[in-house]
Chains A and B, each alone.
Chain A
Amino acid sequence: MYIGISAYNHESAIAIVNKNGELLDYCKEESLSRIKGDQSFPKRALKRLIQIHNIDSSIIEKVIFYEKPLSSFLIPLKIASKSLPGSLDFLVHQLRNFKNSSINCFLDLNKFMPGLENKLIYIDHHLSHTLTALLYSKSQENICSIVVDGFGDRSTSTISFINNINNIRELWAAEYPYSLGLFYSTITDFLGFAINEGEYKVMGLSAYGNENSPHARLVKNLIKWNDITKNIDTEMEYFSYHKSVSNSYSEKLTNLLGEPRNPFVPLMPDDKYFQKYADIAKGAQDSVNMILKKIFEHAYNLTNSNKYLFSGGVALNSACLNSLAELSFVDELIVPPSPGDSGAAIGSAFYGYITSNKKPRKILKPSLFPSVFNCNEQLEQVKKIISEKFELISDCHHSALQITSKLIKNGEIIGTIISNSETGPRALGNRSLLCDGLNKQAVDTLNTVIKNRSPFRPTAPAMTIATAKKYYQIKSELKTCYLSMNATCKCIDNNISLDFPVTHIDGTARIQIVEDESILDQLLCILKPMGIEILANSSLNISGDPTCFDLIDSLMVCSLTPLKYLLTDFGLLKKK
Chain B
Amino acid sequence: MKLGCFDLMKEKNILRILHETLHAEHGSALEMLAACKATSRDNLVYGYFEHAKDEYIHTKTFKKILATRIENTHVEIARNYRFTPIGIIKKGYVDNNGFLIETLKLKDFVAYVYTNELLAKKSFERILKLIKDNKRDFDSILDIMKDELRHHGMAREYFLKYYPNLQPYHLFLYKLRETIKNKTRRIYYKNIEFLEIIFKPLYSLLALLGGYLLLKFNHYHFYRENINLMDISSKSLL
Contact = CB atoms under 8 A, between A and B. Distances in A.
Contacts of A351: 234
A74 B45 contact: no
B52 A556 contact: yes
Contacts of B40: 380-381
Contacts of A69: 237
Contacts of B235: 121-122
B228 interface: yes
B30 A34 contact: yes
A154 B46 CA distance: 49
Contacts of A64: 234
Contacts of A355: 230, 234
Interface string A12-46: 00000000000000000000011111111001100
Nearest to B88: A35
A118 to B, nearest CB: 11
Contact of B85 (A87, A544, A550): A544
Interface residues of B, number: 62
Nearest to A544: B85
A82 interface: yes
B167 interface: no
A34 B227 CA distance: 40
B230 A170 contact: no
Contacts, number: 184
B219 A169 contact: no
Binding site of A, secondary structure by majority: helix, strand, loop or mixed?
mixed
Interface stretch (B76-84, B128-136, B146-154, B173-181): B76-84
Given A92-B204, A381-B40, A123 B234 contact: yes
B211 A168 contact: no
A384 B43 contact: yes
Contact of A71 (B49, B53, B222): B222
Contact of A265 (B34, B46, B71, B88): B71
Interface string B215-230: 1010100111111111
Given A40-B89, A264-B71, A355-B234, A552 B204 contact: no
A425 B23 CA distance: 24
Contacts of A154: 219, 222-223
Interface residues of A, number: 80
Most A CB atoms within 10 A — which of B45, B98, B229? B229
Given A69-B237, A74-B214, A194 B71 contact: no
Tell which of B30, B228, B237 has the most Cβ of chain A within 10 Å: B237
A194 B86 CA distance: 11
A88 B204 contact: yes
Contacts of B67: 264
Interface in A32-79: 33-40, 43-44, 64, 68-71, 74-75, 77-78
A90 B232 CA distance: 31
B230 A167 contact: yes
A381 to B, nearest CB: 6
A158 B224 CA distance: 10
B42 interface: yes
Interface in A250-308: 259-265
B230 A36 contact: no
Nearest to B60: A560
Contacts of B49: 382, 385, 552, 555-556, 559
B6 interface: no
Given A171-B225, A260-B79, A262-B78, A37 B45 contact: no
Interface in A335-361: 351, 354-355
Contacts of B86: 35-39
Nearest to B211: A81
Nearest to B85: A36
A323 interface: no
Interface in A78-113: 78, 80-82, 84-85, 87-88, 91-92, 95-96, 103
A169 B226 contact: yes
Contacts of B191: none
Contacts of A555: 49
A437 B63 CA distance: 31
Interface of B: 30, 33-34, 36-37, 40, 42-43, 45-46, 49, 52-53, 56-57, 66-67, 70-71, 73, 75, 78-79, 81-82, 84-86, 88-89, 94, 96, 98-99, 200, 203-204, 206-208, 210-212, 214-215, 217, 219, 222-230, 232, 234-238
5 contacts: A78-B217, A124-B229, A197-B84, A385-B45, A545-B85
Given A35-B30, A81-B214, A91-B207, 5 more contacts: A95-B206, A121-B234, A169-B229, A384-B42, A385-B49
Going nearest first, the 10 A-B pairs with the smallest beta carbon separation are A70-B237, A121-B234, A81-B211, A91-B207, A36-B85, A127-B229, A384-B42, A170-B224, A384-B46, A92-B207
